[in-house]
Structures are given as structure tokens and as C-alpha cells.
Amino acid sequence: MQASPDRAGVVQALAAASRAFVGITARSLAAVEGDITLPQFRALAVLAVRGSQRGSDIAEELRVNPSTATRMLDRLARKGLIRRSRSATDR
């Protein structure tokens, strides 16, 4: 039977992974021409992983109000980073 990792080791590993992710995100944001906010970057990441999504789905994933997600997606569309289209299943 294999011993489970100690709690402190797991916490340290998670903290290291979090720092690495923040560093990668900061470098990615700096490399993008124009100003992209961290929430916009997160929305782009959701779209990159999941493909086409409804605004309400992105809002839920990012834990923001649907109106906030709509404004964010509109800004990304104006910057030419995404294309928005009306869903036949939306109201």
C-alpha cells in the first residue's frame, strides 16, 4: 500500500503550481498587443478549451453576472478576438 502525500506537501505543490500559472498568464497578457484584462483572458481561455459557448455559460464558468460577461464578450468582439453570433436556442 502506498502512503498518501502529507498535507503540507500537497499545499506546497498547489502553491507552486498557482505561482507558475500566474507567471504564465502575466507573460501571455504582456505578449498580447492591445490591452487584455485578466477576466478577458480567462474568457478567451474558456473559449479555447470548450469552443463556442453561450454568454450565460461563460458567465457561469467565470462566476460573473451574465450582463458582465456580455459586456466583456462585446469588448473582445470589438477587438476582433472573437466572433459573436446569436444562438437559435437563445431568446
The verdict on 40 and 79 lying in the same domain is yes
The verdict on 39 and 20 lying in the same domain is no
Give pTM, 2 decimals. Answer: 0.66
| Phi–psi pair at 90, nearest 5 degrees | -80, 160
The verdict on 47 and 80 lying in the same domain is yes
Over residues 58-69, the pLDDT tens digits come to: 999 999 999 999
Question: pLDDT exceeding 70 applies to what percent of the chain?
Answer: 89
- pLDDT at 88 > cutoff 90: no
The reply to whether 12 falls in a domain is yes
Q: 83 vs 1, 3, 44, 47, CA distance in Å?
A: 52, 50, 11, 11
